[in-house]
Amino acid sequence: MLPTTNSRSHPLRRLLLALLSLGLGLLLMATPALALNDAQQLVVESWRLVNQGYLDPAKFDQVHWRRLREQALEKTINSSDEAYEAIEAMLLPLEDPYTRLLRPQDYTSIKATNLGSEINGVGLQLGARAEDGQIVVIAPLEGSPAADAGVTSGTALLSVDGQSPQGLGLEATAARLRGEVGSQVVLKLQPPNGSSEELTLERRSVDLRPVRTRRLRSAKHTLGYLRITQFSEGVPEQVKEALQELSEKEVEGLVLDLRNNSGGLVSSGLAVADVFLSGSPIVETRNREGINEAIPSAIETLYDGPMVTLVNGGTASASEILAGALQDNSRSQLLGSRTFGKGLIQTLTNLSDGSGLAVTVAGYMTPSGRDIQNQGIEPDRILDPPEPLNPGGEEDRWLHDAELWMEAQIDRDQEAQLENTENVQLDNAENIQLDSAEDVQFKTQQNRDDS
């Protein structure tokens, strides 16, 4: 039999239960909430930056973005390395190789590249192929071990010291190519339309020297040659100095070489566009709200003479912005081969522990509305293969073709100017003759009136 209770005890029991509940509540309120440690804060900070700025927020629903944060924090995270692994796992479902964590050493390296200083490595600039995510060579850095070995744009990187680049990811692959001067790295490569091959490269210090210039002389004309291999921080000023130097040498035209320029700082690319364009649209950016914003050039230009621009499959990102602006505004013809096709813009943010986070925040289109992402820019004139391995060198056939094209354009401009001058002189002569005839007629009529 169950114990019985007196009905009078019910109010007392309810009071005791109420006091007990209040006591437990006060106890729970007095217990402090569990604070996140520094490593966990790093995960939350990264999640927040992506959540606030990522170009395609619709992707968040597809990958259950909030749940990814919760799953990351459910793991044991007490060190920076554990935080990095959690962040990388959290970003992986976005399937955007350009939205990525940069560990402190990698972040330092990429900042050094953006400043235009030296790097230690083999000199490969990498990107992800659109159709399958394969890590490919955008371009080798000029004067690097990779360039000396003849590695070309579009070459697939199959392994780095036996590890798969697709498994490592874009930034980790790039990090494994860098290292101490004199150390070696073994690469397995597959050139476009070629069979795979193994290549051992020795790392060395590569002087980026993003701006190079010289005169190109022929029997009839003197041209300027301006090569930009990267849009790092000091490039706009270096370009201005180079053009000033060429102007003092009285060049008649300019060959701008953007081959194997994988981009860099968009702000630097826009500043260089200001040098050639006057009050014209440079690019249209599209943000996560789908709003397009046109960015115009300044009114004043530093060089407004005739020019032609060389591009290839290693021309990407900020250099595609410049090439597209020159083409769409009929400022310069493009010669070479189709560009790489990277039409996305990333921000680079310092994280609290010295690492960095790159986040895709915008896409861009050329002034005429062409979307470059995964498509690239078709030049006005395709130059014959094979593509020269040493852009700007003595055996560079494409540069020679550009010289011939520029000289022919100068000749046409001079002929048109001469013809225009002759027409003006002829019009002036006819006007003088007409005035003389009218003057004679007037004087004859005046003599008749006097008589």
Q: Are residues 282 and 391 in the same domain?
A: yes
Residue of 353, 373, 354, 357 whose CA lies nearest to 365: 373
Q: Are residues 130 and 148 in the same domain?
A: yes
- The residue-averaged pLDDT of 15-44 equals 59
Q: Are residues 55 and 135 in the same domain?
A: no
Q: Are residues 300 and 394 in the same domain?
A: yes
Q: Are residues 301 and 388 in the same domain?
A: yes
Q: Are residues 277 and 330 in the same domain?
A: yes
- The residue-averaged pLDDT of 229-246 equals 94
Position 29 scores a pLDDT of 40
Position 243 scores a pLDDT of 96
191, 207, 223 — which closes off a domain? 207
pTM summary value: 0.78
Decide if 317 is catalytic. Answer: yes
- The residue-averaged pLDDT of 162-191 equals 89
Q: Are residues 177 and 213 in the same domain?
A: no
Tell me if 434 is assigned to some domain: no
207, 227, 253 — which closes off a domain? 207
Looking at 232, 262, 297, 342, which residue is catalytic?
342
Tell me if 74 is assigned to some domain: yes
Placement of tokens 């790295």 in the chain = 185
The answer to whether 299 touches 277, Cβ cutoff 8 Å, is no
Q: Is the pLDDT of residue 426 over 80?
A: no
**pLDDT grade, residue 390 (50/70/90)?**
confident
Decide if 342 is catalytic. Answer: yes
Position 12 scores a pLDDT of 40
Q: Are residues 321 and 396 in the same domain?
A: yes
CA-CA distance, 4 to 64, in Å (whole number)?
54
Tell me if 447 is assigned to some domain: no
- The residue-averaged pLDDT of 416-425 equals 75
Position 35 scores a pLDDT of 85
Tell me if 415 is assigned to some domain: no
CA-CA distance, 275 to 231, in Å (whole number)?
14
Q: What is the dihedral of CA 403, 406, 412, 414, to 10 degrees?
A: -100
Q: Are residues 131 and 174 in the same domain?
A: yes
Q: Are residues 292 and 393 in the same domain?
A: yes
Which of 21-30, 242-251, 442-451 is modeled with the greatest confidence?
A: 242-251
Tell me if 224 is assigned to some domain: yes
Encode pLDDT of 211-225 as tens digits. Answer: 999 999 988 899 999
Q: Is the pLDDT of residue 276 over 50?
A: yes
- The residue-averaged pLDDT of 81-108 equals 94
Position 116 scores a pLDDT of 63
Encode pLDDT of 284-316 as tens digits. Answer: 999 999 888 999 999 999 999 999 999 999 999
Position 100 scores a pLDDT of 95
CATH number (domain holding residue 82):
3.30.750.44
- The share of the chain scoring above pLDDT 70, in percent, equals 86
Q: Are residues 224 and 358 in the same domain?
A: yes
Tell me if 213 is assigned to some domain: yes
CA-CA distance, 75 to 380, in Å (whole number)?
54
Q: Is the peptide bond before 388 cis (omega within 30 degrees of 0)?
A: no
CATH number (domain holding residue 198):
2.30.42.10
Tell me if 12 is assigned to some domain: no
207, 239, 274 — which closes off a domain? 207
Q: Is the pLDDT of residue 18 over 60?
A: no
Q: Is the pLDDT of residue 92 over 50?
A: yes
Looking at 328, 332, 337, 355, which residue is catalytic?
328
Q: Are residues 276 and 369 in the same domain?
A: yes
Pick the residue with more confidence: 237 or 447? 237
The parent domain of residue 306 ranges over 208-409
Domain count, the chain: 3
Tell me if 422 is assigned to some domain: no
CATH number (domain holding residue 313):
3.90.226.10
Element (H, E) at 401: helix 397-450
Looking at 159, 317, 319, 332, which residue is catalytic?
317
The answer to whether 116 touches 233, Cβ cutoff 8 Å, is yes
Q: DSSP per residue over 308-332, as a string?
A: EEEE-TT--THHHHHHHHHHHTTS-
Rounded to the nearest integer, the mean pLDDT of the chain is 86
